[in-house]
Structure formats: structure tokens, C-alpha cells
Amino acid sequence: MCFMIRRAIRACLIVGLCLIGLTVALVLPWRWVSPPTTAFIVRERMASGEPVYYQWAPRGAIPTDLAISVVAAEDQKFPDHKGFDWVAIRAAFESNQLGGRVRGASTISQQVAKNLFLWPRQTWLRKGMEAYLTLWIELLWPKRRILEVYLNVAQFGPTVFGASAAAQRLLNKPVADLTPRDAAVLSAVLPSPRRMSAREPSGYVLGRAREIQDAVSRLGGPGYLQGL
């Protein structure tokens, strides 16, 4: 019996080490290498059959106004958390249990894990894999890199991914020329880039953009991200 238990423990350890090794091999290279594509981009190409616009821009080429707008809109605790905003998760869980509008609580780190490796449909399997990958992204990448990757892989339109493509395709200007208002409008459509438009923003999007600009001011502007 003891022999069988030792064999089972040894097998579990081997499986665990293999899983860790595979995860590190999957996650670590993107700390330095620009992802040539993502799971979401591949899915979009297959589903729509239309051209997908994605162009990598280094963090230094993306205005700090867009970086802070995205953080203000999506994840205001980004500089401080370790991948999860437990207060927001609890609030979302309680709201969803009451049967109201379904709320999300994904951090920027979680969204990077989802966009790079997974699929959009909410299932317990996907959420579990997302949480696991988020832990490793936070462990293996600095915060500055996580934000850089997010700015480049986030979906801003039905077939538009990343800040550079969004600036060019939706606002007809280079990413370096984005104004604070442009940044807020782009950030406003992130929750639903298929339904909301940065090219022809609705009243709701414009109102949400103003809220984001107010949030940026409360956070102290781009200096809020200075330590990243």
C-alpha cells in the first residue's frame, strides 16, 4: 500500500512539474517577444473571414494618455494588485447573485491571459485557466510589460486589435498623435468593441469617455503609472 501511495505521489509530482514547465514555456517568451497573433485574433479571422488589423507598437510609441485611460477605465488598482482585484470580484459575484446585470471584474492581467491564450465565452473552465495563466503572467512579467501587451492586443473594433491599428483604422491618425480625448473614447469601447464604436461614438460612449477622463484626473494623470 505504501509503495502504491509513493508511486501515486511521484506520478503527481512529475505531472505537476511537466505542467509548470509547459506553462513557463508558453508564458515566458512573451515577456520579451512581441506576439505575432493571439487566440482572439485567430478566432476573429476564422469567424468573420474579413481582414484583421493588428500592428505591434512598443510601449514608448504609445501615448501615456492612452495607458492611463485604459487603466482608469478597466483596472484602477492595476499598479498594486497581484493579478486579481478581490474587492471587485466579490462585488461582481454579489451583484450577479442578485440577478441584476451581469458584472465582470477582470483585471488587465486577466484580460491579457484571456486574449492571448483563451476564448471569449464565459465558462468555469475558461475562468479557471484564465486565473492559472494570470498567476504566471504576474510572476514572470513586470507590470510595465503586462500593460504594454494589453495595449497591443486589446480589441477596439470588430476586426481591430491594439492601439496602433485602432488609431489608424478608427481615428485616422498615428498612435503617437492620440489626444487625451481620443484615448478616453478608445478606452470607453473596450467592454464591447463589437457593439460600440470609437469611429462614430454614440452618446453613451462619449459620456463614458468623459467619466474616464474624470477618473484619470482623480488618479493623478499619467504620473499614476510612473513606477511601472
Predicted confidence (pLDDT) per residue in 138-196, tens digit: 999 999 999 999 999 999 999 999 999 999 999 999 999 999 999 999 999 999 999 99
Number of domains observed in the structure of the chain: 2
Same domain, 156 and 45: yes
Same domain, 93 and 10: no
Same domain, 29 and 43: no
Q: For residues 214, 104, 75 and 53, what is the CA-based torsion angle, rounded to 10 degrees?
A: -90
Residues in Cβ contact with 175 at an 8 Å cutoff, skipping those fewer than 6 apart = 57, 61, 62, 63, 66, 163, 164, 166, 167, 168
105 residue type, one letter: A
Same domain, 41 and 151: yes
Of residues 88, 126, 133, 90, the one with CA closest to residue 110: 133
Question: Which structural domain, as residue segments, surrounds residue 9?
Answer: 1-33
Same domain, 10 and 111: no
Same domain, 122 and 9: no
- Tell me the β-bridge partners of 157: 160
Sign of CA pseudo-dihedral 127, 39, 166, 149? positive
Average pLDDT over residues 93-99: 61
Q: Indicate the pTM of the whole model.
A: 0.91
Same domain, 157 and 105: yes
Please give the Cα distance from 68 to 180 (Å, whole number).
Answer: 10
5, burial (CB in 10 Å: exposed 0-12, middle 13-18, buried 19+): exposed
In which element (H, E) is residue 23 found?
Answer: helix 2-27
Residues in Cβ contact with 134 at an 8 Å cutoff, skipping those fewer than 6 apart = 83, 84, 107, 109, 110, 112, 113
Helix ranges restricted to H, 84-227: 86-97, 108-117, 124-140, 143-153, 163-171, 180-188, 203-219
CATH number at residue 107: 1.10.3810.10
Q: What 8-state DSSP symbol labels residue 179?
A: -
Phi then psi dihedrals of residue 155, to 5 deg: -90, 120
Same domain, 25 and 54: no
Same domain, 59 and 102: yes
Residue pointed to by grid coordinates 459620456:
207
Average pLDDT over residues 20-31: 95
Predicted confidence (pLDDT) per residue in 105-134, tens digit: 789 999 999 999 999 888 899 999 999 999
When pLDDT is cut at 50, 70 and 90, the band that residue 102 belongs to is very low
